[in-house]
Amino acid sequence: MEIATRFLDNVIDVNKYPVSEIERVTKQTRRIGLGLMGLADTLYALNIPYNSEEGFSFMSKVTEFVSYHSLRASVELAKARGAFPLFEKSDYAKAKLPFEGFYHREWWHEDWEALSKEIAQNGVRNSHTMTVAPTGSISMIAEVSSGLEPQFALVFEKHVTVGKFYYVDPEFERRIEELGLDKQAVIEEVAKNGGSVQGLNLPEDLRRVFVVAYDIPWWDHVRAQYEVQKWVSAAVSKTINMPSWVTPDDVLSAYVFAHRLGLKGITVYRDSSKGEQVLKTPAQRGEGYIAPVSNKTLELPPLSFNSVALWYTIDELTVKKIEEESLDLAGGLHAAEHAMIGVMPFHVLCDRWDIGGVSTPLHPYTGEPTIFIYDGYEGGIGISEKAAELFPELVRTTLQVVSECGCERGCPACIYSPKCGNDNRPLDKRAAKLILESVLRKLTSEV
């Protein structure tokens, strides 16, 4: 970890940048992305099912270990080379770390309190040290499973001019040899079964451990990303594989589930979205999941934490105008919330996945229509506070984005959010414009 962290930090300095602005921002934050791959093969080797409670616990522990030691290496680099230039403006200087696991002591296996204090005292070289990339190509070179993904298939059949041969997962091949099974017969049978052992007359322990992507329920794919995201300050790449028989409600539920767990974003792939697919596992052919693994994923509570938010209310005159024009007040508030979250990264050091929002036509504490924009981290990390300092400018930019967008009713460029837990409903672009105009007038008159 120490060597890899040092290497990635060196890349920032020796890299050739296409424009000076990219070089300036890169060197101000010095983000690096140490990751991992081979997770699925490791679980095979340890005889642990990917989507078991033991498997999920292992994912969390491994990621915590990498995150902790990459940050510790970054502290040592800061002592020798200096902290990243924006360190003093970050919450690192307040002994706060930008990932969820830091705020849950019950999850700790490392001394995070001591490390956070050491960072506050000595600085840290890199604002982010870890991400989990897809690693599709490099994992093939290393002959391991990619990123945190489960194996897509245990056996691939390859046809060439001289005949056919099989690509076999090394851990699976080793296990069938240990069990004294007819290797060639098993490989051919698994290949005909879409690369999956489910539904075959094979030892139960083999079927329990050697699950592949479509053997795993979509909610456990989301859970796997959640276990890793706990310790990662940047993003995590993960495909949420779904069989073709899932419904649109399943897709919506995956996004809502991910939002409730606090994930930054997910990628859903529904089987048969491509025209031609050679491999078909039993889960893809049937109408349900049959892998014999049980866990507590569906019992997980929604993510709950105390944070910091900025908020603003809408005056009665604006509400009346919205009603007179037969517009949707709730939709306008919701749209203004989305638009402001979308533009905040232009003014504050964050991305939209670091912040969340809530809007309501009548809040019990304010007694008025209210919009809240909050930090997506326990205790807040200074994003909302900085946004509050720049609030007039933030409102002006939000109004500009909404007003100048050429769409009629809203689109991803203005008021749609890629992480909305309400499926971007309701939204009213015209009402949002009226709301933002009224807020900006009030702010201007107060100056």
Contact 32, 9 (CB under 8 A): yes
- Within a domain: residue 179? yes
Claim to verify: residue 288 and residue 329 sit in the same structural domain = no
Distance CA 221, CA 9 (A): 31
- Within a domain: residue 229? no
What average pLDDT score do residues 186-191 get? 92
- Within a domain: residue 303? no
- Within a domain: residue 130? no
Identity of the residue numbered 347: H
The whole-number pLDDT of residue 280 equals 56
Neighbouring-strand partners of residue 375: 355
- Within a domain: residue 230? no
Contact 430, 326 (CB under 8 A): no
Q: Among 210-219, 297-306, 335-344, name the one with the lowest average pLDDT.
A: 297-306
Distance CA 1, CA 445 (A): 55
Neighbouring-strand partners of residue 313: 370
Identity of the residue numbered 409: R
Distance CA 169, CA 330 (A): 53
Claim to verify: residue 373 and residue 434 sit in the same structural domain = yes
The whole-number pLDDT of residue 265 equals 87
- Within a domain: residue 128? no
Q: Which of 253, 268, 295 is the last residue of a domain?
A: 295
Claim to verify: residue 140 and residue 118 sit in the same structural domain = no
- Within a domain: residue 228? no
* pLDDT band, residue 278 (cuts 50/70/90): very low
The whole-number pLDDT of residue 361 equals 94
Distances (CA, A) of 349 to 72, 132, 416: 23, 21, 21
The domain total for the chain is 4
Question: Where in the sequence is the domain holding 180, given as residue range(s)?
Answer: 136-209
Claim to verify: residue 87 and residue 27 sit in the same structural domain = yes
pLDDT tens profile 148-184: 999 999 988 766 666 767 789 999 999 999 999 999 9
Contact 427, 334 (CB under 8 A): yes
**Sign of the CA dihedral running 109, 113, 117, 120:** positive
Report residue 395 as tokens.
């409102």
Residue 282, burial from CB neighbour count under 10 angstroms (0-12, 13-18, 19+):
buried
Greater confidence (22 vs 157) lies with 22
